Amino acid sequence: MQAMPPQTMKVLRFDNPGRDYRLTVCTQARPLPGPGQVAIEVAAAGINRADLLQGRGLYPPPPGASDIPGMEVSGTVTALGMGVEGLASGARVCALMAGGGYGQVAIADAGAVLPVPDCVDLVDAAGLPEACFTVWTNIVDTGRLADGETLLVHGGTSGIGSIAIQIFSALGHTVFATAGSAEKCAACSALGAARAIDYRGEDFVAAVKEATGGAGVDVILDMVGGAYVQRNIAAAAPWGRIVNIAYQDGARVEVDFVPVLAKRLTLAATTLRGRKPEQKRRIRDALARQVWPLVAAGRIRPVIDSRFGFGEANAAHAAMARGGHIGKILLVP
């Protein structure tokens, strides 16, 4: 007689949300997928800075999303909701979600699920969804990066930066990246950056101007903000596009907009978490066409810094907060 699957699972929840939040292992009922959703037995969950902000009470999940943290997972499909096509129980997948990843089972919209190629370790695949969705929609959809154009990625060894360098260098673009040490710059170069700039000792504006013959870069992806806002404007080429996905060094700055006018620049800022399922499906479909063949060929890979068990979740979040990592930090149930 076949054993019944367990009815409960372990999850991580925030205890004492705020500056001194803690993650605590709890037990709750296993969720079931609704229409258009899939249930995934989680192999690993990627940690993102948004998870830390949620713990501090600064970035709540959007309406209708799970209040369990975690916005990306990898694992095995265990159940399909009504109307789901193209997926089967037992499939190796990775998925983007608005919440719920820090559990043994996660529920994802089918339109935000991608297959994990055989050449990619299933645990490591948790480092792909958030970064791939983020860089594609911001650099291509919002930044409108065109053939022959150049790209500057700040935070080159972050999970997002490490994927952006790989994708767009593989697609034939000249990619510049900033990072905070010689070791991190070497990692950026190994991933495909044409020029890695150590921002602690170099001026990235001067560096990209020199590398482009004075022209500047066409698209800039920035999560730093603060003083970088004005410096990005200086580094951008005429008709350049600057896209912010975070403001880690501050969102309130004084800006001289005259060069924005003179160079006809576009400044944009976006978030991904609260977008509608159909919007995420369109990004997923573009990734499936343009990026996933490169993943399957081994040309793009998740860069993993470290793995932590659920019982080590607070240490994992502390490692993320320190910022010394190269690539993604993962939680493994």
Query: How many other β-carbons are positioned within 10 Å of the β-carbon of residue 251?
Result: 12
Compute the CA torsion angle 84, 85, 88, 89 (nearest 10 deg).
10
pLDDT at 3: 58
How many helical (H) and strand (E) elements, i.e. helices and strands, does the chain have? 10, 15
Average pLDDT of 118-137?
98
Residue 2 has pLDDT above 90, yes or no: no
pLDDT at 5 over 70: no
What's the rounded mean pLDDT across residues 236-254? 96
Percent of the chain exceeding pLDDT 90 equals 98
For 8-128+273-332, CATH number out of 3.20.20.150, 1.10.3080.10, 3.30.470.20, 3.90.180.10 equals: 3.90.180.10
The per-residue pLDDT for range 160-207, each reduced to its tens digit, is 999 999 999 999 999 999 999 999 999 999 999 999 999 999 999 999
Ranges of CATH 3.40.50.720 domains, the chain = 132-269
CATH says 132-269 is which class?
A: alpha beta
Residue 96's SS3 state is strand
24 CB burial (10 A radius; 0-12, 13-18, 19+): middle
Q: Where in the chain is the domain with CATH 3.90.180.10?
A: 8-128+273-332
DSSP 140: I
Residue 237 to residue 213: CA distance in whole angstroms? 11
Q: Which residues contact 36 (CB under 8 A, 6 or more apart)?
A: 81, 82, 83, 84, 109, 110, 111, 277
DSSP 281: H
Give the angle subtended at the CA of 94 by the CAs of 92 and 95, to the nearest 5°.
135
Q: Is the pLDDT of residue 256 over 60?
A: yes
pLDDT at residue 4 is higher than 60: no
Strand ranges (DSSP E) for 245-322? Answer: 266-269, 304-309
Contact 32, 20 (CB under 8 A): no
Task: Measure the CA–CA gap between 132 and 134, rounded to whole angstroms.
Answer: 5
Give dist(CA 22, CA 315) in Å, integer: 10
Residue linked to tokens 């490169």: 294
Q: How confident is the model at residue 6 (pLDDT cuts 50, 70, 90)?
A: confident
Rounded mean pLDDT of the chain? 96
Query: 219 with 243: CB under 8 angstroms?
Result: yes
Q: What is the mean pLDDT of residues 262-291?
A: 97
DSSP line for 37-64 = EEEEEEEEEE--HHHHHHHTTSSPPPTT
Strand ranges of the sheet holding 174-179, from the earlier edge strand across to the other edge: 195-198, 174-179, 150-153, 217-222, 236-244, 266-269
Please give the average per-residue pLDDT across 206-221, as a whole number: 98
